[in-house]
Chains A and B, each alone.
Chain A
Amino acid sequence: MFAYIIKRLLWLIPVMIGVSLILFGIMQLVPGNPAAIMLGTNVTPEAVQALNEKFGFNKPFHIRYFLMLKNFLTGELDSIYYNDQVLSIVERRLTATVELGLVSLIIAILIAIPTGVIAAVKKNSVFDLLSMFVATIGISVPAFFTGIIFIYLFSVYFQIFPSSGYGGPIWTLSGLQHLILPAFALSTVMIASTSRLTRSAMLDVMKEDYLVTARSKGVAEKMIILKHAFRNALIPIITNVGNQLAMMFGGAILIESVFAWPGVGRLAVKAVEYRDQPLVFGSILILSLLYVVVNLIVDLVYVLINPRISYK
């Protein structure tokens, strides 16, 4: 197991180099000169020239790539648009992104899994039909729309939560208050898909012979569902949750916009808009790293829940 983790961690290096190469290549293909965009209507040929020299846009491809990679690794990569270093810009927003992602995940798991299990156990009951109907709506309605509805309900109408912005770290009251609405809005899609998946995975497992055996041996129904059925249904659920979490880190851009949440997703979009190549490079590389790491964690969690899976 330990050797496996080391091996997987070592594999990260070529993966990340590949990502960085593809990323850098795409950035070169995107039309638009960063200096001209940044200067906007104040553009003059001299000003463009000065900026091009300042950020080395005139050097050949491979030199720029190695320069960017080196500067990134040593933490000296400067953003063009923001007057700061890429790492420190991303770091500040990463906290907001990770907080939002993890809290949504927790909300989603707390709601989706019990709902899915109950729906499967009480198949075709009112609860099942109703919850799966709501889940279908949850998958279909875009998260930003849910977000706007939430803001209208909870901050304009009931005035319970602030409508938008980042209130501080999660352990502060203001931070928590600001986090709740976006976290719930972001978790809706995940709740919907996870609860449906949990239900169908549970239904599959519940047809298995060993459950019949367990029942005939007189094991309590609660025990059968939680220990025998649920544990075996967990593999596809964990896979789904892992994917969704990884997507949340980078893909919460709409929610970040609606709630004016200072996350990495919005930052990356802004960076692309301004052709801020160093920042695009840095922010996407860090998002990819998060994605890969989440996947690694998911693979390791498999072992914990299913002893038949082992990595050698």
Chain B
Amino acid sequence: MTFVAKPKVHHPLLQFNEIGLTRRDYEGAVSTLCAGCGHDSVSAAVAIACNELAIPPHRFAKISGIGCSSKTPSYFLGASHGFNSVHGRMPSVATGANLANHELHCIGVSGDGDSASIGVGQFAHIVRRKVNMLYIVDNNGTYGLTKGQFSATNDRGSTSKRGVPNLYSPIDLVSMALQIGASFVARSFSGDKQQLVPLIKAAIMHKGFAFIDVISPCVMFNNHNGSTKSYQYVREHTASMVDAQLVMPHEQIEIEYAPGTLKEVDMPDGSVLRLRKISESYDPHDRVGALNHVQRAQEQGDVITGLLYVDPIASDIHEVLETPTAPLNQLGEAELCPGSEALTAVNAGFR
């Protein structure tokens, strides 16, 4: 995990966003991951999405666990604070960070080892808690940093680089998130920026817990013919359900390439989420339907991608806890300390 700063030179063709920043302002340090790693595409997609949303980069808080995926917050949004915490515990750290200041956009990056094995308990519980954040899993079905052990998302029968088959059932984080009650659940593929960028934008603007499982092949240990998470396998078996495009109220973006019907979803922040359905029958507001769909496809060996479920009027943890408009970390003595007079009354209650 060597740090290489990226030189900042402004290219004359770089476009400025609404707040006068360019794509370069949303990038981070140079990645030290292996060349061709899917995770780098995810990082790039996050940077593009944040640039397009024109949110000041320092208004994000990036939190991760441990593993290849968890290194990636160094590689995007260099002007924001990042916290590379401990293995499988990103959800709790993100919960605390979000409780302290709800005004920051919280992005959590985790991997399949981090979220589906050591951190599966924390994953389940952050879904329950409705923390307002984008939770990305860079899912490659393998332990990259420790050189290629199977992870819990690896499909049964999928083989390791040495040809040994995986004997155990996979954990599907998308199904878990749907079942436990996440209000935004999507799956995408790291190589499909057209789909991934709008999904990330929509997830960042979603008020509530937004989960995106990104199949992100490991070029070193899980990109061979026997793997079900290789570039080749996923490209051949992807059945894209829905294309999501976040449209800000002031800037209507039409989807040009996707045929079919258009569905508008009103977001609590006033923006409109427009969903282009590929399948006529798919309803992204039907949690049970989504669960069925994902699992049926899984049985057929297909990967459903797209926005699988969204609850446009979801609430978040701060609404549940009825916290103030001002972030808790900005309250001082005047707001927090009840003072000596109140303590006199407290004392009287103990006599």
**B partners with A:** no
